[in-house]
Structure 1
Amino acid sequence: MALDKRRDPYLSFNFLVEIEGLVTAGFREVTGLQAEVEVHDYREGGLNSYIHRLAGPARYPSNLVLRHGLTDDPSLWLWHQEVRRGVIQRRNVSIILLDTTRAPVQHWHLERAYPLRWVGPELRAEANAVAIEAVELVHCGFHD
């Protein structure tokens, strides 16, 4: 089969997941990239008409959810199995957004993440890669 006619199963998966530097899966949907800065109100004595709004620490109120994935690498599943057994090994995870030419456009780096939920696929005999319905990652923050 000619190289230009070979079908790449990852073409419709626009988000790659990289764990500790190794690409392990492609996903169609990513939700939960959310960051907030807490605000603390401070009333200054003698200045009753004004409240200072001071920036507090950043927080990450939602977990990252990866949906509709495909992989031929078992490392994401094995990592989740370790967590289920109580072995919590936090790892740095990168989410890579790809453009239509499959070139990286944006990276988000999650710090000290681990999978807390893994949802398997509907099983079909004709597929040679493992589909993943959803993976939920808890993390300690992210940056680009």
Structure 2
Amino acid sequence: MLTGDTFSSSTFAIELGKFQVETVQAVSGLTLEQDVVDTRQLSATGELIVRKQPGARNTGEITITRGMDKSTAFTDWIKATLVNSDLDSARQNITIALKDAQKQTVRRIHLSNAWGSRWEGPQLEASKSGPAVEQVTITYEDITIE
């Protein structure tokens, strides 16, 4: 890849622990955010000085949209927290691998101690012929971009 070339955001893979999640349509909400703290002081002449400095790094959430299929690994992981309330075993590290046109990984985004916090089933309509998709909100404690 030449310097300055960007890669397509439509080629990616999601690794959850030891397995790869199949049939993913979209990932949204990838953000890295930090609190901003205002410090107000008075100078020796009585002038107000306002300084901004970094505060704590925020945790986050992403939403994965995927086709409903017969794959059970991802569904079982979601059930561990939302049905079985087993957060200790459900916490996993997730990696989102962005790929170039040759399907080579060019960037990885790691989410630490992630777990499924919300599941939304498909919209069912008799007059529609589209695929059945589910959305899963995943909460994580830390994000690392490499």
Question: Do both proteins adopt the same fold according to a TM-score greater than 0.5, normalized to the shorter chain?
Answer: yes
Q: Equivalent residues in 2 for 1:22-37 (5 A)?
A: 22-37=19-34
Whole-Å separation in 1 of the counterparts to 2:70 and 2:99: 19
Q: Equivalent residues in 2 for 1:51-130 (5 A)?
A: 51-60=50-59, 62-69=60-67, 73-83=71-81, 84-88=83-87, 89-121=90-122
Moved more, 64-73 or 86-95: 64-73
Unaligned runs of 5+ in 2: 1-9, 125-131
Q: Equivalent residues in 2 for 1:37-52 (5 A)?
A: 37-46=34-43, 48-52=47-51
- How far apart are residue 65 of structure 1 and its match? 0.6
- RMSD, aligned CA: 2.6
Unaligned runs of 5+ in 1: 1-12, 124-130
- How far apart are residue 37 of structure 1 and its match? 1.4
Instruction: Report percent identity of matched pairs.
Output: 23
1:19 counterpart = 2:20: no
- With normalisation by structure 1, the TM-score equals 0.72
- How far apart are residue 138 of structure 1 and its match? 0.6
Moved more, 103-112 or 114-123: 114-123
- How far apart are residue 86 of structure 1 and its match? 0.8
Matched residue type, 1:117 = R
- How far apart are residue 121 of structure 1 and its match? 4.9
